[in-house]
């Protein structure tokens, strides 16, 4: 029997009758489906790389970048579901 959709998946502090927290399970699945992000830093700079495969010929390279510039000294790299990254 599945508890998905029965109200136990609406809040991260709600436990199902069998002790599961569905929001935590959903977050774990999102991490498994996300792309790989790596960052290396040195005294002279930072290198950031994102493995973002193109799944369709209709995808435009760079259109859904997970590397964002906030200002001249601060950048942001997001992993996980792209709509969540974009919302940040």
Q: pLDDT tens across 2-49, in order?
A: 545 567 777 777 888 888 888 888 888 877 877 788 889 999 988 988
Instruction: Give the residue, 70 or 86, on which the prediction is more confident.
Output: 70
- For the record, the structure tokens of 56 come out as 């369709």
- For the record, the structure tokens of 60 come out as 């435009």
Give CA–CA dist 53/57, Å, rounded: 11
pLDDT, position 42: 92
User: Residue 38: beta bridge partners?
Assistant: 49
- Per-domain residue ranges of the chain: 34-87
Give CA–CA dist 42/24, Å, rounded: 34
Beta-strand relationship, 46-50 and 67-69 = unpaired
- For the record, the structure tokens of 76 come out as 């942001």
pTM score, two decimals? Answer: 0.49
């Amino acid at each position: 029997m599945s508890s998905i959709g029965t109200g136990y998946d609406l809040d991260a502090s709600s436990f199902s009758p069998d002790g599961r927290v569905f929001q935590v399970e959903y977050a774990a699945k999102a991490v498994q489906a996300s792309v790989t992000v790596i960052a290396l830093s040195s005294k002279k700079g930072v290198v950031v790389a994102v493995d973002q495969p193109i799944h369709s010929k209709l995808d435009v390279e760079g259109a859904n970048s997970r590397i964002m510039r906030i200002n001249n000294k601060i950048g942001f790299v997001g992993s996980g579901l792209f709509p969540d990254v974009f919302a940040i």
